[in-house]
């Protein structure tokens, strides 16, 4: 075997090892290693993968008082991509788990909800697709592939790196005999609850964005097309959207 044959065999061996490595590396490792950070799908597949978010940073940034002083709506949002760590911090601040026991047999969250119903879901629109924020394991579950950012509204929201859709699930309200809130089954009362609870979460996102020097914008959204595209249940209600990114 001459030196040219040996070199060719060596290159083939390296190439095969690379293919085998790609086949065996977990999806999250591929996502974390990608240039975009969170928009990869598995090689040879068009399906979105679950994104395990990095552990949220609970120190650093501006103080609460400083963030309050800088909180504002800024619609001039750049299309520049947000690091996955920043997205992790924002979602945890918005409605993440911050304690093991929050009442009514559920974990506690960073924003309150009526009888700890936790009826608000955060659907995350990234350039690659729609994800559902699953707070207990702090991860993004794939919902639908495709760029649905335009469903969040108009202007810079269409090209912003992160759009958060607030969607209420009425099935989360416990109507059982042990529920102390006797009016929680009333549809108008439920409406007052999920609008208020959305406001708590949105303000958390606003303050977190201000702490990181980001632009944020809470606004209306497409309440019709999102129902089918996000694969929502009959008990779910599309409420609002919030756009976050770097200021222009």
| pLDDT average, residue stretch 68-94 | 98
Cα first-last separation, the chain: 61
Average pLDDT, the chain: 87
143, 145, 146: which is closest to 122 by C-alpha?
143
Q: Are strands 162-169 and 97-103 parallel, antiparallel or unpaired?
A: unpaired
More confident residue, 24 or 189: 189
Question: Is pLDDT above 90 for 78?
Answer: yes
**92-120 per-position pLDDT tens digit:** 999 999 999 999 999 999 999 999 999 99
Element (H, E) at 131: strand 129-134
**Following CA atoms 36, 201, 95, 77 in sequence, which dihedral angle do they give, to the nearest 10 degrees?**
10
Give domain limits for the chain: 1-33, 48-245
Convert 94-128 into a string of H (helix), E (strand) and C (coil).
Answer: HHCEEEEEEECCEEEECCCCHHHCCCEEEEEEECC
Predicted local distance difference test score (pLDDT) of residue 6: 41
Q: Which residues of 146-157 are buried (b: 16+ CB within 10 A; e: fewer)?
A: eebbebbbeebb
Architecture of the domain made up of 48-245: 3-Layer(aba) Sandwich (3.40)
Q: Is the dihedral of CA 191, 193, 194, 199 positive or negative?
A: positive
With cut-offs at 50, 70 and 90, classify the pLDDT of residue 31.
very low
Q: Are 140 and 48 within 8 A, CB to CB?
A: no
Strand partners, 140: 51, 133
Residue-level pLDDT at 45: 52
State yes or no: pLDDT of 168 exceeds 70.
yes
């Amino acid at each position: 075997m001459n030196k040219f044959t040996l070199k060719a065999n060596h290159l083939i061996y390296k190439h095969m090892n690379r293919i085998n490595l790609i086949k065996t590396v977990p999806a999250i490792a591929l996502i974390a290693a990608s240039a975009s950070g969170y928009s990869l799908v598995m090689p040879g597949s068009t399906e979105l993968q679950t994104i395990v978010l990095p552990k949220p940073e609970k120190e650093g940034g501006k103080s609460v008082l400083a963030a309050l002083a800088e909180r504002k709506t800024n619609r001039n949002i750049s299309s520049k991509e947000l690091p996955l760590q920043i997205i992790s911090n924002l979602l945890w601040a918005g409605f993440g788990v911050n304690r093991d026991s929050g009442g009514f047999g559920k974990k506690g969250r960073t924003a309150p909800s009526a009888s700890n119903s936790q009826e608000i879901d955060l659907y995350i629109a990234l350039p690659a697709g729609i994800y559902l924020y699953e707070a207990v394991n702090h991860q993004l579950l794939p919902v639908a592939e495709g760029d649905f950012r335009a469903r969040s509204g108009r202007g810079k929201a269409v090209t912003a790196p992160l759009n958060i859709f607030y969607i209420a699930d009425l099935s989360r309200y416990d109507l059982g005999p042990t529920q102390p809130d006797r009016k929680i089954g009333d549809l108008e009362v439920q409406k007052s609850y999920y609008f208020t609870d959305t406001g708590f979460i949105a303000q958390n996102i606003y303050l977190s964005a201000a702490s990181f020097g980001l632009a944020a914008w809470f606004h209306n959204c497409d309440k019709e097309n999102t129902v089918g595209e996000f694969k929502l249940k009959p008990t779910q209600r599309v409420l609002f959207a919030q756009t976050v990114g770097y200021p222009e």
